[in-house]
Structure 1
Amino acid sequence: MPVAVHLLGLAIFVQGTSEFMLSGLLPNIAADLGVSIPDAGLLISAFAIGMVLGAPVLAVATLRVPRRTALIAFQLVFVAGHVIGALAPGYGVLFATRILSAVAYSGFWAVAAATAVSLVPPQVKGKALAAVGIGLTLATVVGVPAGTILSQHAGWRAAFWAVAGLTVLSALSLLAVLPGTRRSAPDATPAAPQTPSVRRELTGLARPQLWLSYLITTLTFGAAVVTFSYLAPLLTEVTGLPAGWVPAVLSLYGVGGLIGVTVGGRFADTAPLRTLALGVAALTLASAALACTATNLPTTLVLVLVLGFTSYVINPVVQSRVFRLAPDAPTLVPAVNTSAFNVGITLTPLLGGLTIDAGLGFPSVAWVGAATGLLGLAATAWAAALQRRSRPAATPATVPPRIPVSAGTPADG
């Protein structure tokens, strides 16, 4: 795997840390800025909104800009957002910087995904995207606990300064290793010419199977994130885990995710739909099991590891599959997929919060995850049926040759 792909993963690690670390900074932010914790929690929603809106807009706006230039520019805007946020005199300024940072991060994610697949042979796209996605998993394993500890000892603003400094180092590394040439479509074919085109990218989106894949992204990642969002209070209030052990258990979830994204990357190119179906089914069962056994500490610890694994084993599949469904839109396709991820991140925790407010308790969020997982499994089955239906039928007289994945067609699931 090219070193540039791994450096893109490290960049996602730094920026992803900022996305998730706020959950551990909220009490300090609320106390420092004189707002309630629920108001401080809206900073998380602001980041998600920025991610949803920013990715497709910036992907189109920078379509003819060399990828290295676009990536560095996004990182510099991200740094500016964190510097201003670290100096923010009040809540309003910090809220605005979270939206600004999220927009830049979403643009970086979209272009980084397209860059990663352009640097490797077509048959290992899934592995390249898994290598980039590992950065986000490491953010939950290392970045979030580190940000929380830094905030506890030096204040929440120190965590913002740390993210800004590490992003500068990341930008310098990408400037050194990425080619500075104008971008071209990966796997250039008659269906995916070299010259970037907004019209061609928009036309590439006009495929029903692609939008079904976006729905799968929203449902599966929504099913994964809802339980994680409320995992800390579930562990302390229901399982009876001492609060001091919560970071260690959250890291256990991240370890499962690290294993999952590695396994998912291995099979994303050869058996995408089968991997997706098995992963979502396991995620659904694990969520339901946690809802039923949350009072049992040993079982809960095992299930947290399983949830991390199943949440991330599907990640390389949902990311790489969209490239195969629309190879002629290599920039806008992953950008909309980034938005789909964040729609799931926004909606299912909201549903989980409603079940808690309704008096159903913290285990109810795991039931929300299980129900969303069932919908994701149904959507995956629908995608498999559409794929089987789209294949030309073989006849005894003329049996068409098997088209390899590298030709830019959907892989067999």
Structure 2
Amino acid sequence: MSSATSAPAAQRFPLAAMMVLATIAFTAITTELLPSGLLPQISTGLTVSEPVAGYLAAAYAAVIVVTVVPAARLLGTVPKRPLLVALVLTFALSNAMVGLAPDFTSAMIARLVGGLAHGLLWTTMAPYVARVVPAAKVGKALAIVFSGNSLGLAIGAPIGTALGGFLGWRASFLALAGFSLLLAVVGCFLLPSVRQVAGEARPSLRAAIAQPGVKPVAIAWPLLVLAHFALFTYIAPYIRDAGLPDYAITLSLTVLGVSGLLGIWIAGLTVDSHPRRSLLMTTAAIALSMLLLPFVGGSLAFALVLMSVWGAGLGAIGIYNQSAILRAGRENKDAANGLTVLTIQLGITVGALYGSAALVVAGPLLVPAAAALPVIAALVIAWAGKTAAYPPGPRESVWKSPRPIEGRAGTSRPGGPGPGRP
């Protein structure tokens, strides 16, 4: 593609491509979560205990932590569109291998392949979006793409689990493999190519960390994820200890998924114009909802309202932080994004352990309050990072600018520079 044809294309918003990327995200999340809903069937089918079958989920996350940074560096200069298509094909291969696995070892190898693709996908996708979407609409594009995450949680995993109940767990993985294969074909036609910049260097993690705004985002974002998984992992014992009915467990998961979509939609409207103010308000709302959950007093309606705030906040916070890390990483945004993929996976792992400790020490009812503590820490980090990590957006900078004094040199005048502009 010539530069003459690529320049106009870059000014258009590639909605079809963003929908494809959202579907890829949906497939990745469904692939990650599917074994959790099918553990009893997998355990029986592969003749292993349920705890051992659970390693299929744990190994998936572990391989992401171990491989994401070196793999992203190794493949950093590979053209993004063929890499994305190859990763979707890898999901297809991984799910097909699990569905056909004759024993547990074969299934574990298949899951490791899928985990490798998952980590690479999230280091590739956001920088790819930043390259094919006009700069002023990157936040909107990320909101569309990230909706696939919430749909995978709210719809993909439950449908896969239900299919496994009707047709067997192998059918669920084979169906997901077929869907992934079809998606790869669609991606070949609808994903735009990105012209490689001559002399573009490999992603440098050291250079990314040296950027002043990267470290705060790479710490604050995982703290929010840690808090989420600390509470999400032990939502069932909390609900029982809070005096809520057992059906509230399933209902709460649905509320979290659906409200997450609402949060993503709100973030898509605000991330490009008011990123700092929106992130601070959202983080504070998450902390408040978690602090109030121990006081629901058996009221299901009150609990669901608080869970809706929590779910919407977590959906939105991913958009705000993803935009922040791309902005803070500057020319090293690929490596900076890879760093957050690593730290977020660590946050997921530590979050489950932290929630377990809170469950033992404080009891189920106070797990939400314990989860609020890392959220408050993330809020402090975000508040302090107003220069490089979480600066105000273009519309926020207007109210920050001092009013010019009439009659002095350098004051603005009609047709002159506007607030926040040179």
Q: TM-score range by the shorter chain?
A: 0.7 to 0.9
Deviations 1:228-255 (CA, angstroms, capped at 9, x unpaired): 2222444356444345x64443122111
What are the residue-to-residue correspondences of 1:283-298 with 2, within 5 Å?
283-293=286-296, 295-298=298-301
The match for 1:241 among 245, 251, 271 is 245
The match for 1:13 among 26, 29, 42 is 26
Distance of aligned partners of 1:204 and 1:360 in 2 relative to their CA distance in 1, 3 Å threshold = closer
Unmatched 5+ stretches in structure 2: 1-12, 412-416
Equivalent residue number for residue 177 of structure 1 = 190
Equivalent residue number for residue 233 of structure 2 = 229
Equivalent residue number for residue 267 of structure 2 = 264
Deviations 1:280-331 (CA, angstroms, capped at 9, x unpaired): 1111111121233273322222222222111111111100111111220232
Deviations 1:19-47 (CA, angstroms, capped at 9, x unpaired): 22333222222333333333333332222
| Cα distance in structure 2, aligned partners of 1:326 and 1:387 | 9
The match for 1:311 among 301, 304, 314 is 314
| Cα distance in structure 1, aligned partners of 2:226 and 2:253 | 18
Deviations 1:126-181 (CA, angstroms, capped at 9, x unpaired): 11111111100111111121012112222222221122111111111111112345
Is it true that 1:110 corresponds to 2:123 in the alignment? yes
Q: Runs of at least 4 residues of structure 1 off by over 6 A? A: 385-391, 393-396
Deviations 1:43-94 (CA, angstroms, capped at 9, x unpaired): 3222222222333222222222111111111122222221211222333332
Deviations 1:352-377 (CA, angstroms, capped at 9, x unpaired): 12233x26433333123211111111
- Indicate the larger mover: 172-181 or 254-263: 172-181
Deviations 1:81-119 (CA, angstroms, capped at 9, x unpaired): 212112223333323322221110111122111111211
Unmatched 5+ stretches in structure 1: 185-193, 408-413
Deviation at 1:200, TM superposition (A): 6.0
| Cα distance in structure 2, aligned partners of 1:87 and 1:388 | 47
Aligned to 1:173, the other structure's residue is in SS state helix
| Cα distance in structure 1, aligned partners of 2:389 and 2:150 | 30
| Cα distance in structure 2, aligned partners of 1:361 and 1:87 | 42
- Indicate the larger mover: 74-83 or 36-45: 36-45
Give the aligned residue type for 1:300.
A
| Cα distance in structure 2, aligned partners of 1:84 and 1:200 | 34
| Cα distance in structure 2, aligned partners of 1:355 and 1:124 | 41
Equivalent pair of 1:67/1:111 in contact (CA under 8 Å)? yes
Aligned to 2:192, the other structure's residue is in SS state coil
Equivalent residue number for residue 156 of structure 1 = 169
The match for 1:72 among 85, 106, 114 is 85
| Cα distance in structure 1, aligned partners of 2:391 and 2:328 | 15
The match for 1:210 among 211, 214, 227 is 214
Aligned to 1:331, the other structure's residue is in SS state helix
What are the residue-to-residue correspondences of 1:234-383 with 2, within 5 Å?
234-235=238-239, 238-243=242-247, 246-293=249-296, 295-356=298-359, 358=360, 360-383=362-385
Equivalent residue number for residue 63 of structure 1 = 76
Equivalent residue number for residue 4 of structure 2 = none
- Indicate the larger mover: 217-226 or 195-204: 195-204
Deviation at 1:125, TM superposition (A): 1.2
Distance of aligned partners of 1:210 and 1:298 in 2 relative to their CA distance in 1, 3 Å threshold = same
| Cα distance in structure 2, aligned partners of 1:43 and 1:155 | 17
Equivalent residue number for residue 32 of structure 1 = 45
Equivalent pair of 1:54/1:104 in contact (CA under 8 Å)? no
Aligned to 2:330, the other structure's residue is in SS state coil
Give the aligned residue type for 1:123.
A
Equivalent residue number for residue 189 of structure 1 = none
Is it true that 1:197 corresponds to 2:210 in the alignment? no
Give the aligned residue type for 1:229.
T
What value does the CA root-mean-square deviation take over the aligned residues?
2.8
| Cα distance in structure 1, aligned partners of 2:258 and 2:24 | 19
What are the residue-to-residue correspondences of 1:396-411 with 2, within 5 Å?
none
- Indicate the larger mover: 285-294 or 111-120: 285-294
Distance of aligned partners of 1:199 and 1:36 in 2 relative to their CA distance in 1, 3 Å threshold = closer
| Cα distance in structure 1, aligned partners of 2:174 and 2:67 | 23
| Cα distance in structure 1, aligned partners of 2:169 and 2:234 | 21
Distance of aligned partners of 1:286 and 1:199 in 2 relative to their CA distance in 1, 3 Å threshold = closer
- Indicate the larger mover: 382-391 or 22-31: 382-391
Alignment size in residue pairs:
393
Give the aligned residue type for 1:349.
A
Equivalent pair of 1:224/1:283 in contact (CA under 8 Å)? no
* TM-score (normalizing by structure 1): 0.86
Deviation at 1:389, TM superposition (A): 10
Aligned to 1:329, the other structure's residue is in SS state helix
What are the residue-to-residue correspondences of 1:90-109 with 2, within 5 Å?
90-109=103-122
Equivalent residue number for residue 94 of structure 2 = 81
Equivalent residue number for residue 65 of structure 2 = 52
Equivalent residue number for residue 5 of structure 2 = none
- Indicate the larger mover: 31-40 or 305-314: 31-40
- Indicate the larger mover: 163-172 or 334-343: 334-343
Distance of aligned partners of 1:359 and 1:64 in 2 relative to their CA distance in 1, 3 Å threshold = closer
Distance of aligned partners of 1:145 and 1:237 in 2 relative to their CA distance in 1, 3 Å threshold = farther
Equivalent pair of 2:238/2:367 in contact (CA under 8 Å)? no
